[in-house]
Amino acid sequence: MNTYLVSFETLPPSLQIQEDILINAIKMFGPWARPNSKVWLIKTYLTREQVIESLRASAGPNDKILVMSVNNDWIAVNLPNDVVNWMKSGL
């Protein structure tokens, strides 16, 4: 299973509904954690190309999306315990 960091920014003409659609699309990939309001971690069998193409289909024309592979080499401070535990469970 692959782990990816996903971040996005909705820009005009997108509205709040577009952000909600992107969030729901991210949650559909499988197990996820949200370290902060604009960053998601997801686990999926899809490639990063498949992830970004799926999200692009849910995004507005000017929305920015970043998908990066994540490995088990990380460090964090002041993240919620549930997110840290999710990350410790195996990236």
* Domain containing residue 30: CATH number: 3.30.70.240
pTM: 0.90
Q: What is the pLDDT of residue 5?
A: 97
Containing structural domain, residue 38: 2-88
Query: How many domains is the chain built from?
Result: 1
pLDDT digits (tens, 9 = 90+) for 20-42: 999 999 999 999 999 998 899 99
Confidence grade of residue 43 (pLDDT, cut at 50, 70, 90):
very high
pLDDT of residue 17 exceeding 90, the answer is no
pLDDT of residue 61 exceeding 80, the answer is yes
The two beta strands, 39-44 and 32-36, are antiparallel
Residue 22 CB contacts under 8 Å (≥ 6 apart), including other chains: 8, 10, 55, 58, 59, 63
